[in-house]
Amino acid sequence: MENSIKKHSDQKHSDQKHSDQKHTKSYQAIGFAILAALLYGISSPVSKLLLVKLQPTLMAALLYLGAGIGMLGLNFFKVLLRKEKVEASMTKKEMPFIIGMILLDIAAPIFLMIGLKMTTAANASLLNNFEIVATAIIALVIFRETIGKRMWLAIGFITLSSILLSVSDISSLSFTVGSIFVLLACISWGFENNCTRMLSLKDPLQIVVVKGFGSGLGALIIALSVGEIELNWTYMLIALLLGFVAYGMSIYFYIIAQRSLGAARTSAYYAAAPFIGVLISWIILKEPITPMFTIALFVMLVGTYFAVTEEHGHVHRHVVETHEHKHNHRDGHHDHTHDYEVVGEHSHEHTHAAVEHTHEHLPDLHHRHTH
C-alpha cells in the first residue's frame, strides 16, 4: 500500500515538474513568436515606401536575398564561435518540404508587393492576419494539427475582419484587387508555414539561408524575365537590409517558436505583426483611419485574444520514434543515456520510447497525436 502511494506521489511530482518545464518552454516560444512579429511588422509600411522606386517582383527578390545574405553571415560567425554541433542539419528526407517552402516563398511576396501597389500599407498589414486562418485550416486538414474551440473562434473573427478589410463597398460586396492579392499571399504563406513546420526541428539558421537564397533567386529570375529590373542602388540596399531584419531575423525566431507551439498557434501570436505595421503606417505614411478599418481592427483583436488564450491538456501516448534535433535531458521527453557526459543543449539521432502521461501541451513535433 505504501509503495503504491509513493509511486503515485512520484508520478504526480514528475507530471507537475514536466508541466512546469513545458510552461516555461511555451512562454519562451511565445516570446520568440512576438519578437518575430515585431521584426516583421515594419515590413509593409517600409516596403510601401520602397515600391516607389522598385518593382514588386524585384522587391520580393531583394527581401529574401537580404534574409539569405544576412543569415549566412550570422551562420559563418556561429561556425567560428561554436565547436560543438548543437542544431540538426536538413537532410534529403526533408527535400519535398524544402522545395515547397522555396516555391511558396517565391509566390507569396510577389503577391504581397503587387497588392501593396494597389492598396494602403495599413490595409495590407491588417489583411496579413488572414495568414492565421490559412495556416490553421491547412494544418488541420492536411497535417492533422489539433485545433480547439478557442482557435476556431479566432479563425472566425479573423476571417470576418479580413472580409471587412477586403470589401470596398459593403452594399455591392465588390472586392478590391489589391486586397485579393494580399489574401493570395496569405494563403501561399499558410501552405509555406506548414512546410516550414515540418522542418522546425532542424537548424533555423540553415533553413532561413536556404529559404532566402532559394526564394530570392527564384523571384529575381522572374523579375529579369518580365523586365522588372531598374537599378536604384540606394533603394536596393535598403531593401536588402529590410529583408535581413524583417524577413531573415523574423523567420529565424518564427521557426524557433514553431518547435513548441505548432503552425497554427505560432501564426496566432504572429498576429501582432500587422498591428505594428498599421501603427507605423499611421505615423509615417499618414494613412487615414476609416470607420470600417476601425471595426475590422477591433474584430481582429477579439480573434487574436481567442487565439492566444487557448489551453490543451489530456492523457496522451507517445509512440516509439527516432529522429534528430536539438534537445536537452530536462524536458520529460528525452531520457535516453549517453556513453559520455552531456550538459545542456545538443543534437544527435535518438529514439523516444513509448510513454503515456498527462500534461498541458501544444502541437509541436512531439505532440501530433490524434484525438
Amino acid letter at 355?
A: V
> What's the pLDDT score for residue 243?
96
Q: Is 122 or 220 the better-scoring residue by pLDDT? A: 220
Task: Find cell 494602403 and name the residue.
Answer: 120
Task: Give residue-wise pLDDT tens across range 286-330.
Answer: 777 778 778 888 888 888 788 777 665 556 565 666 656 565 556
pLDDT band with cut points at 50, 70 and 90 for residue 27: confident
Grid cell in block for residue 337: 543515456
Query: What is the pLDDT at residue 113?
Result: 86
Higher pLDDT residue, 185 or 343? 185
User: Which pLDDT value is given to residue 173?
Assistant: 45
Write the DSSP string, 263-299: HHHHHHHTTHHHHHHHHHIIIII-----HHHHHHHHH
pLDDT for res 123: 77
**Average pLDDT score over residue span 187-214:** 90
- What pLDDT is attached to residue 141? 86
Q: Is the Cβ–Cβ distance between 116 and 178 less than 8 Å?
A: yes
**pLDDT value, residue 210:** 93
Question: How does pLDDT run across 210-225, given as a tens digit for each residue?
Answer: 999 999 999 999 999 9
* Amino acid code (one letter) for 226: V
Look at the chain and count its residues. 371
| Predicted local distance difference test score (pLDDT) of residue 172 | 45
Is the pLDDT at 12 greater than 70, yes or no? no
Q: Give percent above pLDDT 70 in the chain.
A: 71
Tell me: pLDDT of 238 over 90.
Answer: yes
Task: Note the pLDDT of residue 242.
Answer: 96
The model's pTM is 0.74
Q: What is the mean pLDDT of residues 100-104?
A: 93
Q: Name the pLDDT band for 22 (thresholds 50, 70, 90).
A: low
Q: Is 82 helix (H, G, I), strand (E, B) or coil?
A: coil
Intra-chain end-to-end CA distance of the chain, in Å: 34
So what's the pLDDT on residue 68? 96
Residue 116 banded pLDDT, cuts 50, 70, 90? confident
Banded pLDDT at 342 (limits 50, 70, 90):
low
Q: How far apart are CA 39 and CA 42, in angstroms?
A: 6
H helices of the chain, where? 2-40, 43-50, 56-81, 95-118, 121-127, 130-141, 149-166, 177-197, 204-225, 233-242, 250-269, 272-280, 291-308
